[in-house]
Each structure stands twice: as C-alpha cells, then as structure tokens.
Structure 1
Amino acid sequence: MSDRTLRVGVVGAGNIAHVAQLPTLVGRDDVELSALVTRRADPSALVRRWGFRTVHPTVEAMLEAGDLDALFVLTPRSEHVDATRRALRAGVDVFCEKPLATSTQDAQDLARLAEEQGRVLMVGFNRRFAPVYEAGRQAFSDSGASFCVAQKNRAGSEYRATFENAIHMVDLLRWYCGGEPVDVAGHAAGQDPWQEDGVSALVRFDNGHTGVLMAARNAGGWGEKLDAYGDGVTAAITAPDRVSITQAGATTVREMSPEAFGWATATQTFGFAGAVHHFLDRVRDRQQPLTSGAEAAKTQLLLDQILAAAGLPTEELEGREWASHATR
C-alpha cells in the first residue's frame, strides 16, 4: 500500500477507546477518522473531540458508504463477530479488541475468513506491545523461556472474570514459552462459576516449557507481574513500569515512568499505542500481525482448556451481558 492517508472507521467509542486507541489514531498524520458507529443519540461531542467525518447508526451502513481501509471494532465482546465478519467480507482490514469472539470456534472461523479474503486481522492483545513485556521477551531466544509465571490479580470479581481479564496473561504465557499446549491443569476458587474468585493453572507446552497462571479476583488490590526463566536468564516484570533482566551475574533494571519524566500513561505503558501502530503498519506492508486472528484463536483455545480443567464454563450465559466497555 502507498503512503496515502488511511481511511479508518471505528465501531464503539466507549471508555477504553478514549484512553487507548483513539488518542493514538488522532496522533498519526497518515490516518483520517472517516466514520464512526455509535448508539449515542447525540454523537456531536464525539465528532468534535476526535474529528470523525461521518457517523452511522450501524456497521452495515458504514460499510455500504464505502471508502474505508481499516476498521477498529471496540464494542462489547458479544458484538465482535458480526462487525468483524462484515468488514472482512467487505474487503476491509480489522483491528478487534480482545477477545476476538465469545467462542473459540467463532474466533477460528474469523481467522480463516481473513486468510481467505486476504485481509489483515489483528486482535488487541496489547500486553505484547507494552515496553516492559517486550523487553522481557527479547531477553530470550525464539524458542522462549523454559519457565514462565504470569499473574493478574484484582480486588473484586465480574461476569466470566478469567475469560475477560486473565486472557492477557494466557496470551503472554504462549508468547513467552514459545510453544503450544499439550497438557493443562487448572483450579478455580469460589462458588459461582460465572463470577469466580480466581483461577490457577499449570500448562506444559510441546517444546518442554512450562507456564503457570495465577488470576486471583479476591486479592487486596490490582497487581500484574510476570517472571520468566531459561538459558541462564531471569526476567522479572512488574507491569506497567518495571522490568529487570539478570544474566551472567548482573542485573539491569529499566523503569518506564522515570524515562518519560512522569508523563507516561497507560496508552503507552500497557502497549495500547504500540498495538495500534503495529496494526496500521501491517495494513500498509500486508504482513501478518504479531497478534493476528490465528494467534488470537490459539490463545482463546488455550484459555478454554484452562477453564475446562478448572470446571468453569467455556460459553456465554444466555441473557447475561458483559458490561465493562458498554459505554458507546
């Protein structure tokens, strides 16, 4: 693709979009926010703030109007499949927030559709683009770390808490360990399988590496960290700010906030900006994204294996709605 301006559409402009994707999109001089789909009765404030050229009531109407190179699907997860499928069939590249779908089968189907249509499909597993996690992964070879412990603990549960939140850490386990799972054991805490108190899991990969997941939802507060070991290297990440790498008896520590003189924001430190830039670069060069639809489907399949091993449901509860990003 030439260096011409990319015409970008956005479906859903809720809380996360305002923090994560939209600031990055408007900061690029090669992007035009061509169209927005929103349920807001009066979208004028969104138009003024972000500079959208047109507003549509549905994805169908947006795609029928044409003139889009890429679409960002930033809606609640129950709406991901329909919007993504329509865009891919219309010949539009898609960035979809995680998870790609509410079921692994749907995620796999979308990945195949993107391949058939020759479109770029990327899923917003932004942790792979966070500077601290990138630095930690770079300390190991392509084969990955021999052992990896990934934790994301929070105070307070929610509907399908592990599926909604720990999926980031499951994706990091796959990325850091560098293989595909061959054996999964899991345990869930709490009495409500739809709003669990947490999950722990042990994953053995086909290259002999081992991953451990800890996702406690009855913790005293929010915390996210990852420790990885192998090849005489130790990487310790405390997200989103700190990574230490130890090898040959020496430890190098990098802290992100001081580097940015205190101005670092979640948009950069958690990798949201990096994910957006990566997608737009892949739209231009037509290469596969690091977190492609196919990669996302593999992560979702592993998450299903963890949930099943822990005795938790792997499907949505009919009539139950995910609310985290519902403001649109």
Structure 2
Amino acid sequence: MAVVRVGFIGAGSMANAVHYPSVVETPQTQLVAICDLNEERLNKTADRYGVPKEHRYTDYRRMLEREELDAVYVIMPPMGLAPIVLDCLKAGKHVFIEKPPGCNSDEAWAMAEEAERQKVKTCVGFNRRYAAVYRYAKSEVLKRGAISLALAEFHKDMLGQGPYYGMSILRTDIIHAVDILRDLLGEPVEVAAHVWSRYERWENSHNQFAALIRFDSGAVGILTASRTAGSRYERFEVHGKGISAYIRAPEQAEIHRQGEGVEIVTDEQLTGTTDRRITYGYLEETRHFISCILNDETPLTNFTDAARTMDLVERIERFATG
C-alpha cells in the first residue's frame, strides 16, 4: 500500500480543528471522501479540502459501498458511534475514532472484538499519550527504571454547564487522565475511589472524583478531578528511581533528577511550535495510526487498549455516592 485512502464520517468542529488538517498533513495519505448529515457542514469542509461533489455523502453506507477506502475516521459523539464503527469494521476498513470508545465498556469491547475478527488497525484519540512533553518526560523516567507512583489530575470550571452529552463526565472527558495512568503503570488490580457531587447536581453524572489504584506493575496511581474548579488545569506527576517528572500538558515538563537539579522542557523546544494541534499530540496520533497501517503494526491506543481504559473508568464509577 503506497497511499492510505481516507474517508471521514463527521465534519463537525472537532474534526475540522484537528483531524482533517492532521490527515492532510500526514505523508502517504489521501483524503478521498466525506460524509455528514448536515449538508452545510459537509460542503464547507469538502470545499476547504478540495473533495469533489461526487465524493460527498449524507449516508455513510453509500460512501462505504462506493468508495475505495483503506481507513475511515469516525468523528462524532459517543451516542450512536458503535453501530457506525461496526459497519466500517465489517467493511474491512481501518478505523480511527475520538474518545470515548462508545457509551460504555460493552460497546467498546464489541468494537474491539470486531476489529480483531476483521484483522484491521484501530486507534482511539487519546492524544495526551502522543503529546511531546508527556512522551519526553515518560521516557526520561523510564531510563532509570520502573515507575513507582503516578498522579493524574484534570480539573475544569464547569459550574452551571452540566455534563457533556448528558453522560458521565468521567467517561466522556476525565477518561483522558485515567488512560494516562494505565499507560504509565499497567493494568489495575485494586481500585478504591470516591465519586460524588458538590455545589450542584448533574443528571447521570457526578462532578468530583478521587481514586487510588494499585496496578499489576506494583505501582500506585492517584486520580483527582473536579468539575467545579476555578479553571481548566491538567497535570501529571511521574515518580521513579531518583527521578520525578511534573508534566503540565501540553506546555511543559519539569524533570527532577537526584543530585542533578531540574530540567525544564517546553512544547516549543520539542516540536518547534506552540500550535496545540501539534504539541497536544493530535498530529502525532494520526501519523502513528497511518504508519501502523502501512507497516502492519498495532497502534498504541487501539480499540482493545481503549476498552481496558473504559473498564477502569467503570470500576471507578462503581464508587459513586448519592
């Protein structure tokens, strides 16, 4: 395969902000076709990227039937995602989706198992794993040995807003921080958590989260998240053998080495830009996905891996009170 022919299902704001430009800027890809129910969005996006009218669709099934596609990006909210993804997988297409991987772990595992049956490549947009400062800091800690302790905190000022899509905010958003803990520490063996609400009540979701998780590596992870905080704030701590990393994704990381002082690295130093689409890992996750298709390798954040993250999310949710 010399070129990966890509089709998109979804032409919303998130897709246009990060996924379309990342695909177009990735070598050995060709944007072939676009589908969206909203014709205004569809045509605006297709015009921007020069997709001819005969390759524009409002029915994704017709796109799958008519177009010679290697991969499909399905960029849409979690409700209704799984049936569309399953159709793409059954058509033999490699598939990229945004998080979360469906509405629950049952949907996540259904997609993962179908992908395994079809022997196709899959990827979920857990972009933090691909962020330059995160990858650098993680690699520096691991050079000295295994990680002993990690913390992931992800807060937002959401008073008066309510949860995204009317679903648990842990599944739709804080899942990013849960996924980082799995990436750093392995698979969970014991979970203790408290999930509750303070200052306002949200239907189908709480707004305060704290968890203590023991992993099969012997390390421990700590999760904290408030959705009634003063601002958006995201940070990871990674502690190893005589080394600690404090990561303020995606802007910078502090590396503290025993007896050597502190190294500060920034997104601009590592990538040459402050464009968050690049520093926050969106471009890199697409390049990784396309590379895995071309080289017959398993993507880092594949559907099976993402289903395991969703499993951990649901284990934390079981500690909800009230």
**TM-score, length basis structure 1:** 0.89
CA apart distance, 1:30: 1.9
**Partners of 1:214 and 1:193 in 2: CA distance:** 21
1:67 alignment partner, SS class: coil
- Equivalent position of 2:4 in the other structure: 6
- Equivalent position of 1:171 in the other structure: 179
**Partners of 1:5 and 1:278 in 2: CA distance:** 15
Q: Is the 8 A contact 1:188 1:200 kept in 2?
A: no
1:110 paired to 2:111:
yes
Q: Read off the aligned partner of 1:138 and give its amino acid letter.
A: S
**Partners of 1:258 and 1:287 in 2: CA distance:** 29
Q: Read off the aligned partner of 1:201 and give its amino acid letter.
A: A
Q: Is the 8 A contact 1:144 1:175 kept in 2?
A: no
Q: Read off the aligned partner of 1:145 and give its amino acid letter.
A: I
**Partners of 1:134 and 1:116 in 2: CA distance:** 31
CA root-mean-square deviation: 1.8
**Partners of 1:122 and 1:141 in 2: CA distance:** 24
CA apart distance, 1:171: 0.2
- Equivalent position of 2:45 in the other structure: 46
CA apart distance, 1:65: 0.8
CA apart distance, 1:83: 1.6
CA apart distance, 1:52: 2.4
Q: 1:260/1:288 Cα in 2 relative to 1: closer, same or farther (>3 Å)?
A: closer
- Equivalent position of 1:218 in the other structure: 228
CA deviations on 1:50-92 (whole Å, 9 max, x unpaired) are 2224111122111111300000010111132112111111010
CA apart distance, 1:193: 5.2
- Equivalent position of 2:241 in the other structure: 231
**Partners of 2:98 and 2:195 in 1: CA distance:** 27
Q: How many residues align?
A: 309
- Equivalent position of 1:323 in the other structure: none
- Equivalent position of 2:286 in the other structure: 276
CA deviations on 1:194-246 (whole Å, 9 max, x unpaired) are 24222111111122211111111111111100011122210100111111111
**Partners of 2:60 and 2:107 in 1: CA distance:** 19
Aligned counterparts, 1:11-90, within 5 A: 11-42=9-40, 43-53=42-52, 54-90=55-91
- Equivalent position of 2:121 in the other structure: 120
1:145 alignment partner, SS class: coil
CA apart distance, 1:167: 0.2
**Partners of 1:273 and 1:232 in 2: CA distance:** 33
**Partners of 2:84 and 2:138 in 1: CA distance:** 33
CA apart distance, 1:39: 1.4
CA apart distance, 1:174: 0.6
1:289 paired to 2:299:
yes
Answer with 151-160 or 284-293: which moved more. 151-160
Identity %: 28
2:80 alignment partner, SS class: helix
Gaps of 5+ in 1: 313-328
Gaps of 5+ in 2: none
**Partners of 2:203 and 2:221 in 1: CA distance:** 23
**Partners of 2:5 and 2:290 in 1: CA distance:** 11
Q: 1:289/1:44 Cα in 2 relative to 1: closer, same or farther (>3 Å)?
A: same
Q: Read off the aligned partner of 1:298 and give its amino acid letter.
A: R
1:147 paired to 2:146:
no
